Amino acid sequence: MPGLRAPSDYKQEPPRHPALAINSKEPFNAEPHRSALVSSYVTPVEFFYKRNHGPIPIVDDVNKYSVSFTGLIDNQKELYMKDIWNLPKYTVTATLQCAGNRRTAMSKSQKVRGVGWDISAIGNAVWSGAKLADVLELIGIPKYSNVTSRGGKHVEFVSIDKCKEENGGPYKASIPLSQATNPEADVLLAYEMNGETLNRDHGYPLRVIVPGVIGARSVKWLDSINIIANECQGFFMQKDYKMFPPSVNWDNINWSSRRPQMDFPVQCAICSLEDVNMVKPGKITIKGYAVSGGGRGIERVDVSVDGGKTWVEASRSQKSGMLYISDDESSDKWAWVLFETEADISQATEIIAKAVDIAGNVQPENVEVIWNLRGILNTSWHRVHVRVGHSNL
């Protein structure tokens, strides 16, 4: 593809903020300190987690860069950045969460395979770009299509990065055509993040944002979009990012028995406290994020400061100065809420948070019941421990 190329080594990686905790250097996988997540509703680009499976692609000439549209459509087509820029520009605030967020804690119950993430493989950004529904209309697929005249039912996004898991081939994933052509699903081909041109780590020049769905489907550095009959057969759809029951291990796994994970479940985590934290006796502030998939708002966040015996409801907010209403048009439906409450602490204790979404979905109490060999979707109650000490500790 002219204009965009993929190096096979890590000699030309972009600069990154030194405060990120690096979970893997090559490919680069890093997350911010948890406290950075509750400093602002919109996560600054430099503190947004970075999840890669290969070296970061390079754009030589953005004017030569194009995305090709192939597969079960009447006319194959190339779209250049100017064609994408010419479409109406939409801005969507959406939380991106890696399915492996909180994996390290799942590993403590029983070992799992995958990059070890703490609780910050998640971030909330303002994405701008063209709606995929508009782009597909431009190439001849009407809005609200379930199937194209040639039998296409899925939209496959193919990148150019060289991934080990794909034997050096590119990262790819797909979503159903019905979601891709539905303007209300807000699927974007994004070229901006937080009002700035997308940077290399996050998919420059063009990436997909699939709101409400695990990060793995938001393909970066788009090279082609294929309209296909069956879902993408790539590694990351078929041999990864699937949720298995606790009974499945590496000896009895049958990958084809499960569907690729799409929506993420209801999640929350406390970000204002470490585990373990030393505090002075008295009032402490407990802050964190809560989010659910599929555009489901957050109905409630419960916090306990006595290990789960009693609970108080935390306040929830998105944009400052505006009341958050979980299913109201004024709220950002694809975005997290930040929650906050205060508590009096006089002795060592366990602090817990759990969220409820507008469908009444709740988080499981323990990690054991949702343990899975790849360590994805750890949404168990988030717990931190505090010890109480006096100053000079």
Which residues of this protein are in contact with ligand MTE, per CB under 6 A? 48-53, 96, 98, 159, 161, 171, 202, 215-216, 218-221
CA angle 51, 54, 59 (to 5 degrees): 95
Collapsing DSSP states into helix, strand and coil, what is residue 60?
A: coil
CA distance 242 to 226: 22
Question: Least distance (Å) from Mo ion to the CB of residue 237?
Answer: 13
- CB 127 within 8 Å of CB 188: yes
Out of ligand MTE, Mo ion, none, what residue 159 binds, judged by CB under 5 to 8 A for its kind, is ligand MTE
Residue closer to Mo ion by CB (options 114, 297) is 114
Q: Which one of 213, 216, 305, 338 is in contact with Mo ion (CB under 5 A)?
A: 216
- CB 2 within 8 Å of CB 63: no
Question: Least distance (Å) from ligand MTE to the CB of residue 37?
Answer: 13
Question: Least distance (Å) from ligand MTE to the CB of residue 209?
Answer: 9
Q: Tell whether omega for the bond before 245 is within 30 degrees of 0, i.e. cis.
A: no
Question: Least distance (Å) from ligand MTE to the CB of residue 133?
Answer: 20
Closest residue to ligand MTE using C-beta atoms: 215
CA distance 349 to 307: 7
- CB 290 within 8 Å of CB 351: no
Residue closer to ligand MTE by CB (options 202, 333) is 202
Out of Mo ion, ligand MTE, none, what residue 220 binds, judged by CB under 5 to 8 A for its kind, is ligand MTE
When asked if residue 293 is in the footprint of Mo ion (CB under 5 A), the reply is no
Out of ligand MTE, Mo ion, none, what residue 103 binds, judged by CB under 5 to 8 A for its kind, is none
Out of Mo ion, ligand MTE, none, what residue 264 binds, judged by CB under 5 to 8 A for its kind, is none
Residue closer to ligand MTE by CB (options 1, 358) is 1
- Tokens standing for residue 188: 């974007």
Interface with Mo ion by CB under 5 A: which range of 17-25, 46-54, 108-116, 297-305? 46-54
Q: Which helix (H) or strand (E) holds 255?
A: none
Identity of the amino acid at 29: N
Q: List the one residue out of 315, 361, 356 whose CA is nearest residue 338.
A: 315
Out of ligand MTE, Mo ion, none, what residue 48 binds, judged by CB under 5 to 8 A for its kind, is ligand MTE
Burial class of residue 142, CB neighbours in 10 A (0-12, 13-18, 19+): exposed
- Tokens standing for residue 139: 């190439």
Question: Least distance (Å) from ligand MTE to the CB of residue 142?
Answer: 28
When asked if residue 202 is in the footprint of Mo ion (CB under 5 A), the reply is no
When asked if residue 51 is in the footprint of Mo ion (CB under 5 A), the reply is yes
CA distance 27 to 157: 20
